Structure 1
Amino acid sequence: RLDRSFQESRGGRLTSVQHAHQGRVTPRYWTQPNAVFRPVQEQFELWLQGQSLAAATQNLYATVSRTALAWLPDRGVKNVQALSGSDVSAMVVFLGSRYQPGSMRTVVSALRVLCRFLEESGYGTGLSQAVPALFARRVASVGVLSAEGVAALTNSPDVTTSMGLRDRAMLLVGARTGLRPVDIAGLRLRDIDLPHAQLTLTQHKTGSVVTLPLLAEVGEAIADYLLNGRPAGGDDDHVFLRSHAPYVGLGPTDSLYWVASRAFARSGAVTQNGTGRGFRVLRASFATRLLADGTPLPVISGALGHRGITSAKHYLAADDERMRACCLDFAGIEPKRTWS
């Protein structure tokens, strides 16, 4: 969402990033600070590399900081030493006009980190105090599928074709492990331990290593694809490859979304709130099913690869039965009189 918002921002400069593994060029828009602020931006990006952050988080923070620093001359700020708390507050308002509301929580976090860097580097004091400590976040209800819906989805691919074998294996991995789409696309042959029935991989988002059980149904689907559907002769060690040349790993976003979207169309499966047609629905359904079975939240968080249980709390809203138990009656707060 941050990338899409950033691409829609005004005043960007168009560059191209060559994705050699897929033989395509994806346009991206970069807003660059001027000559005065560019050295500060470069120092910040080097500083981020030593902060034990995931690569994706570093890129997001760098993107937000570029946009913010490039705007400062419009504010009348001539150099970073002249930056004040009021300028930082105005920067929050400016960024709010560039990004979607759902992205602003991350944007504000990125700005706070930039201010902390500026303070540690001696460029100013009290800057981070001007960044809002809390930012309201719109939370939509989680779209999940019933067990029957998940079964219909995973059984929808045509397993008489190599693409069908691949799609079914990926859908089962998503449904039975809750892996993120980017991690399913990034699975390597060395990550699969069929004799010990487990998957061991480094998560793209957090950079941490996670080991997950490989259920027989999932292992059989992967083995079926590797033996009977995966293109031979290539040197790409990704588990799941394109079904047409060049036979390389799938893109982590668009490619997997269309795999899931086609399965939704074939099966007719619909989430309980009618939203979502991607692999994240399978992830949410997996977490909700664990909740319904009474699995403790820390265990679910570990299975999903979260750094803490806070991220897993988002799935509590989809547990209808336990949410009903939280409802309060009107005992003690009855109206004192009625209005006719």
Structure 2
Amino acid sequence: MASNLLEGVDDFLAYLSLEKGLSENTLQGYESDLRQFLDRLQATSRPSSWREVTAADVSDWIYSLSEEDYSNASLCRKLSAVRAIDAFLLRDRSIEKSFTEIVVGPKLRRKAPFTLSIQEVDRLLRAPDETTPQGLRDRAMLELFYSSGLRVSELSGLQLQQIDLDLGALKVFGKGSKERVCPMGSKAVAAMDNYLRNARPALVKAKTGSAVFLSARGTAISRKTVWFLVKKYTQAAGIDKPVKPHMLRHSFATHLLTGGADLRIIQELLGHADISTTQIYTTVEAERTRSAHEEFHPRSREMGTGL
């Protein structure tokens, strides 16, 4: 059992890594938020052990951050990190009672994710120059990104053994190493087959492994490069919208919902652990419906008096 503040954080991070299998990026996020909380405790000469931490310590910290212009989303994330270590310490019996149970966090209004229209997606997918190996790679990558709703990290980390073109599906290991099977549309299968047969061999180098999408150096393409390429082809397609890392994943989910897919199926395809995470896409559809109503319904449009 760890009562020392730093030891408690280290034990918690080890638990998340070894038992929960969380990614390095997620662990770094937890560590950053928790160390910021410890810095606050140290600055106020407050407790030296977790047993002495109180709800007031947590509330005061969140309130101080709100005065520094942190967004509500950031405040909720930081409070979530403290709640998580609180629950861990209770299970570990390092503390006897919760220090976050009565803490009230900021209300979080989740923004609808940024998406493209079906027509914009079509223009984006046609943007790569398919006369080059890199262009064939990029076409296959974009087709798969949109067709299967992958995360950027899942796309860049994809291995050959995860793909079955005959079945038109791929096996994905998402957050927490959770496995799911994602279907591939016929156009994605065709683009992937074209890339694997006619382009990937030209990108292979002596030390190339089994990564699907290769850089010019023969190494696995990075998440940063995926984001750069999506931005590049968005501009090439004449799409004047801000580019987000998960743009095609969000578009995949929204277009499925618009087409009538069940929310639970979309949750499974996206690999969301909680249905509430998937429900954000209903906001997109609701806003689209409301916009259509305002544009076309005679009682929504501004009308003259007729006098």
Q: Fold conserved (TM > 0.5)?
A: yes
Instruction: Decide whether aligned partners of structure 1 residues 135 and 321 sit closer, same or farther in structure 2, where only a CA change above 3 A counts.
Output: closer
Displacement after TM superposition at 1:124 (Å): 5.1
Displacement after TM superposition at 1:53 (Å): 5.6
Q: Deviations over 1:49-99 (max 9, x none)?
A: 465362344432232112211321111114114322211221223454485
Displacement after TM superposition at 1:136 (Å): 1.6
Task: Name the structure 2 match of 1:90.
Answer: 60
In 1: Cα distance, 2:26 partner to 2:169 partner: 28
Which stretch shifts more, 46-55 or 57-66?
46-55
Task: Name the structure 2 match of 1:224.
Answer: 194
Q: Secondary structure at the match of 1:129?
A: coil
In 2: Cα distance, 1:145 partner to 1:122 partner: 49
Displacement after TM superposition at 1:248 (Å): 0.9
8 Å CA contact retained: 1:179, 1:283: yes
RMSD of equivalent CA atoms = 2.5
1:62 aligns with 2:31: yes
Instruction: Decide whether aligned partners of structure 1 residues 65 and 250 sit closer, same or farther in structure 2, where only a CA change above 3 A counts.
Output: same
Q: Secondary structure at the match of 1:235?
A: coil
TM-score after normalising by structure 1 = 0.75
8 Å CA contact retained: 1:85, 1:127: yes
In 1: Cα distance, 2:227 partner to 2:288 partner: 31
8 Å CA contact retained: 2:72, 2:106: no
Q: What is the aligned counterpart of 1:191 among 133, 148, 162?
A: 162
8 Å CA contact retained: 2:253, 2:266: yes
Instruction: Decide whether aligned partners of structure 1 residues 320 and 128 sit closer, same or farther in structure 2, where only a CA change above 3 A counts.
Output: closer
Q: Deviations over 1:157-196 (max 9, x none)?
A: 0011122111111110111111111111111010111122
TM-score after normalising by structure 2 = 0.83
Q: What is the aligned counterpart of 2:78 among 107, 131, 135?
A: 107
8 Å CA contact retained: 2:9, 2:85: no
In 2: Cα distance, 1:248 partner to 1:61 partner: 30
1:125 aligns with 2:97: yes
1:41 aligns with 2:9: yes
| Between structures 1 and 2, the one with greater helix share | 2
- 1:1-340 equivalences under 5 Å are 37-49=5-17, 52=20, 54-55=22-23, 56-80=25-49, 81-96=51-66, 97=68, 99-120=70-91, 121-123=93-95, 125-132=97-104, 134-203=105-174, 205-230=175-200, 231-233=203-205, 234-243=207-216, 245=217, 247-252=218-223, 254-270=224-240, 274=241, 276-320=242-286, 323-324=289-290
Q: Secondary structure at the match of 2:111?
A: coil
In 2: Cα distance, 1:174 partner to 1:66 partner: 35
Task: Name the structure 2 match of 1:13.
Answer: none
Instruction: Decide whether aligned partners of structure 1 residues 222 and 321 sit closer, same or farther in structure 2, where only a CA change above 3 A counts.
Output: same
Segments of structure 1 that go 5 or more residues without pairing to the other structure are 1-35, 328-340
In 1: Cα distance, 2:275 partner to 2:8 partner: 35
8 Å CA contact retained: 1:178, 1:286: yes
In 2: Cα distance, 1:77 partner to 1:177 partner: 49
Between the two proteins, the alignment pairs up a number of residues equal to 282
Instruction: Decide whether aligned partners of structure 1 residues 92 and 188 sit closer, same or farther in structure 2, where only a CA change above 3 A counts.
Output: same
1:150 partner letter:
V
